[in-house]
Chains A and B, each alone.
Chain A
């Protein structure tokens, strides 16, 4: 079985292997001595869980794990795991990297296509198998359920990816409906339909290259956030950034201005604990109680 970690990955190609174990899961609410030993403090928190699981043998049932180059923590972790396996410090699955290039330039699209072809060859996926998987994937995309709706006012949560829906529950307790992406949402997002005409690897490369969801994409984050707020009919915004975030921090002033420009009350919470053990629930509850819905 083959697992994967990180954003912007080719789920259709994984499906085509017939051995797709899905995204790795994480649990950082535990002692992680292996992570303490090898990882520095600025790594994304979920990386600690992956290292610990690898060291504990919890991933030994896997043949390989595919890492995304579209996230800095993920790509660094790939080299760490390769080295730890080389030196015998850990065993477990073979780390593989998908070298996703994101610069809006033809050479970067070509690089991504070449990386997809190499990964396909490594995992035993030819063009015909990928084409069939893309067709199935597109059908699944068309059948995806619509976003949940309701009558409660919407609080848009943006910034770092959430660990789970714990802040959604805080919002619900305050009579609001939170809309914000979790790490799992990001990692399992198949993206828009893949072009089914022409070469399947080239089409998948174009889809991955164009996507605007990861830390290395070249897109207007503040503009996208404002559009998201308009579509959701948001009545408030929470800009929540964890200590380890080194992407959204650069867009915080623009994101804040974008939401405030829509007339929304905005709460800014920076340098926060990914597991929300720092009182964010109380702060958010008070903010929403005071926000005019």
Chain B
């Protein structure tokens, strides 16, 4: 057995400037309790899904979902990640296996209800993932076996239409941007998934409900995108990415619900109020930073550490501006196809050229970025992917880039002070501070 879980002393909490951030976190905490009650205490059917799968189908059918990335972050926030990495090593898995996707599997394999959050997950109706990398089908396949459940994989087909400016057309020309045949394949798979869910749960899928939900999601993501555009123009930056992330992502886990739409509106309003009042996340903003990669969930305070010392503000991470080009869809009377266009490339545009470098270079220009920090997880090809070509594109556009070797859920090689110091040195070395 691995040793008892130990706390990570390095990570620091982030500062909250917005009232809505506290509200989002409180909602998510209550949601976690409700979810636990529904799936653990009451034994309701539920699914374990990757972030880039069609959550909307489950929402329409009122089937609770646990998103793998959210569950990983939850485990990480409970300071249990190192414990579970040891569990995997003791089970014979090499220590360099991908960590981001496998924390949930590790928690299940540990089979230790006393340690596990919620006492561990019960048997889900199904596990769903897109085949975006070589490891995910193996992780989810074994996880399904360990839970006595079924894995429903979805293809991540090749993408021939390579438009570096995809983000300018994806809202209304999604059939061209994402390839009609790729969308058709995703729709076919979603219909198979719906049949499986209907057969297993007795709950029915209603396409009219999906149409309504998609409209509500458009409204919600429209508020987020409006705020993202305002943040890009505002000087000083009113909200750090440490607060952009929860106010975007938590509603996105519940996308289209009344709470999510209302929260997105509230967030937009608070952002606008701060801009109107000239309030910045830093007292004296001098350097606008871009963060490329998943959030460092074990050290959210990292993003605000240089605000007062150097006036360096993390203005941009992918989560918030992604709401515009990758979520908002003109439905064109075809909600299933519109939904397919949302999910069939969600990962690709963030991790492969030309989409990744095309979008991020454009975003750097839009937001007046002075420098960029890129997370390079050493053991995760998917998360590493596209970073060097993107870094080169940013440098060519005049944006200095720092790449740091670290993992978003593994705190073992992360030291808050060392990482902050690395960014500070980089800014000095590149003449920005």
Query: Which residues of A does B touch, CB under 8 Å?
Result: 37-43, 69, 71-73, 75-76, 78-80, 82-84, 86, 97-99, 101-103, 105, 107-108, 111, 114-115, 215-216, 218, 241, 243-244, 246-247, 249-253, 256, 268, 270-271
If A40-B384, A216-B134 touch, whether A249 touches B378 (CB-CB below 8 Å) is: no
Query: Which residues of B does A touch, CB under 8 Å?
Result: 91-98, 131, 133-135, 137-139, 141-142, 153-155, 157-158, 160, 162, 164, 181, 185, 188-189, 192, 352-354, 357, 376, 378-382, 384-385, 387-389, 392
**Hey, which chain B residues are within 8 Å of A102, CB to CB?**
131
Closest 5 CB pairs of A and B: A250-B138, A253-B92, A83-B353, A42-B381, A40-B384
Indicate if the CB atoms of A79 and B353 lie closer than 8 Å.
Answer: yes
Point out the residue from A42, A101, A249, A256 that lies within 8 Å of B384, measured CB to CB: A42
If A71-B134, A97-B160, A111-B155 touch, whether A250 touches B185 (CB-CB below 8 Å) is: no
Q: A98-B158, A252-B93 are in contact. List 12 more A-B contacts (CB 8 A).
A: A38-B388, A42-B378, A42-B379, A42-B380, A71-B134, A72-B381, A83-B353, A86-B162, A107-B155, A246-B134, A268-B92, A271-B94
If A76-B352, A246-B133, A247-B134 touch, whether A271 touches B192 (CB-CB below 8 Å) is: no
If A73-B381, A216-B131 touch, whether A101 touches B157 (CB-CB below 8 Å) is: yes
A-B contact pairs, 15 of them (CB 8 A): A37-B392, A40-B388, A41-B378, A42-B378, A43-B381, A76-B352, A80-B389, A97-B160, A98-B158, A103-B153, A111-B185, A115-B158, A247-B134, A250-B135, A270-B94
Indicate if the CB atoms of B155 and A108 lie closer than 8 Å.
Answer: yes
With both chains docked as a complex, state the minimum distance between the C-beta of B366 and any C-beta of chain A, in angstroms: 21
With both chains docked as a complex, state the minimum distance between the C-beta of B374 and any C-beta of chain A, in angstroms: 10
Indicate if the CB atoms of B381 and A250 lie closer than 8 Å.
Answer: no
**Hey, which chain A residues are within 8 Å of B352, CB to CB?**
76, 79
**Hey, which chain B residues are within 8 Å of A75, CB to CB?**
158
**Hey, which chain B residues are within 8 Å of A115, CB to CB?**
158
User: Which of B98, B354, B382, B385 has the largest number of chain A CB atoms within 10 A?
Assistant: B385
Indicate if the CB atoms of B134 and A69 lie closer than 8 Å.
Answer: no
Main secondary structure of the interface of B (DSSP, over half): loop
Number of cross-chain contacts by CB at 8 Å: 122
With both chains docked as a complex, state the minimum distance between the C-beta of B109 and any C-beta of chain A, in angstroms: 10
Indicate if the CB atoms of A107 and B162 lie closer than 8 Å.
Answer: no
How distant is the Cα of A243 from the Cα of B98 in the complex, in angstroms? 11
Indicate if the CB atoms of A247 and B135 lie closer than 8 Å.
Answer: yes
User: Which of B95, B158, B160, B387 has the largest number of chain A CB atoms within 10 A?
Assistant: B158
Point out the residue from B94, B192, B382, B389 that lies within 8 Å of A107, measured CB to CB: B192
Indicate if the CB atoms of A99 and B157 lie closer than 8 Å.
Answer: yes
Indicate if the CB atoms of B387 and A40 lie closer than 8 Å.
Answer: yes
With both chains docked as a complex, state the minimum distance between the C-beta of A243 and any C-beta of chain B, in angstroms: 6
With both chains docked as a complex, state the minimum distance between the C-beta of A101 and any C-beta of chain B, in angstroms: 5
Indicate if the CB atoms of A271 and B158 lie closer than 8 Å.
Answer: no
With both chains docked as a complex, state the minimum distance between the C-beta of A246 and any C-beta of chain B, in angstroms: 4
**Hey, which chain A residues are within 8 Å of B189, CB to CB?**
105, 107
How distant is the Cα of A4 from the Cα of B334 in the complex, in angstroms? 38
Q: Which residue of B lies closest to A270 (CB)?
A: B94
**Hey, which chain A residues are within 8 Å of B92, CB to CB?**
252-253, 256, 268
Indicate if the CB atoms of B153 and A107 lie closer than 8 Å.
Answer: no
Indicate if the CB atoms of A76 and B181 lie closer than 8 Å.
Answer: no
Q: Which residue of B lies closest to A246 (CB)?
A: B135
Q: Which residue of A lies closest to B135 (CB)?
A: A246
Indicate if the CB atoms of A37 and B388 lie closer than 8 Å.
Answer: yes
